[in-house]
Amino acid sequence: MIRTIFMAFLLLSCTATSAYASIFELEIVPISKIKDDPTVYDSTMAYRRISVTGNFSDITKQSATLTDGPDSLNIETSKIELFDGFNISEQALVTGEFIYEPIGESRLVPIYVLRYPIVDMGIVNISDVVADPANHNGKYMTVKGNMSAIDQTMGRYTITVTDDENSALRVFFYGSTELQPGDAVKIYGLYNGNVLHSESMGINRSPLSISTFVPGFSSIMGVIAILSLALLLKSKQRND
């Protein structure tokens, strides 16, 4: 029976993982396709976000150039903090809105700039991020701390999370939450532009908690789900 429950737990965990999809990595469009037919990707005609990959051949406070083979694309750098720590010739994935200019230079207005291939740093200390933001910029990470402030504006939560050293990290969360200041939290997301853009956020629970492995499940619902799967598997074994 214990083995059956364990199998059910693994099945439940894997199912949740397979459903995961990043909000920061969208359809990757080769720069060559944008050059061939820019009107298709023009966000001024129809609101659309895309991702492009390439190597930076130039980064200034005015603009950056992302190059992929013989093709290049102008990247707007009005939010220069998004590019903190990126170097010339470094590969990146830029997600944003393409603006087509028939007369003039078309450009991609970035919303997120990621290291590419994608980098996940695992669990990191908030104090380390604050001390060296450039080294963490454009990477995924998990942080733990205490929520000291939370404010909702325009469908987004702006959260401040602090650690034991009183280092503070600003977090954007785009879902809904009932968490309150004082809660111990665990947050996963993309750190970019001095902000942790959270994909998942919850109470920092014991590693044995079902909600630690399957976000969105309460302990009661998790137990019910596991027992239901266990009974289903056991019934199938008897029939076989």
**pLDDT digit string (tens) for 192-208?**
999 999 999 999 976 65
| Domain ranges, ordered by start, for the chain | 31-115, 119-216
d(C-alpha 134, C-alpha 210), whole Å: 34
Domains 31-115 and 119-216 share a fold: yes
Q: What is the pLDDT of residue 206?
A: 61
In this structure, the strands spanning 168-173 and 195-203 are parallel
Cis peptide leading into 117, omega within 30 of 0? yes
CATH architecture entry for 119-216: Beta Barrel (2.40)
Q: Do residues 64 and 72 touch, judged by C-beta distance below 8 A?
A: no
> Which among 167, 145, 149 is positioned nearest to 158, based on CA atoms?
149
d(C-alpha 13, C-alpha 60), whole Å: 44
**CATH topology classification for 31-115:** OB fold (Dihydrolipoamide Acetyltransferase, E2P) (2.40.50)
- Name 215's Cβ contacts closer than 8 Å, sequence gap at least 6: 16, 200, 202
Per-residue pLDDT of the chain (240 residues; tens, 9 = 90+): 544 444 444 333 333 333 334 778 998 999 999 999 999 999 988 888 999 999 999 999 999 999 999 999 999 999 999 999 999 999 999 999 999 999 989 999 999 999 999 999 999 999 999 999 999 999 999 999 999 999 998 889 999 999 999 999 999 998 888 999 999 999 999 999 999 999 999 999 766 545 444 544 444 445 555 666 666 666 656 665
d(C-alpha 7, C-alpha 106), whole Å: 53
Q: What is the pLDDT of residue 228?
A: 67
The burial class, CB within 10 Å (0-12 / 13-18 / 19+), for 98 is buried
> Which among 155, 151, 209 is positioned nearest to 179, based on CA atoms?
151
The type of residue at 84 is D
Q: Do residues 29 and 41 touch, judged by C-beta distance below 8 A?
A: yes
**Residue with the two structure tokens 């200390």:** 125
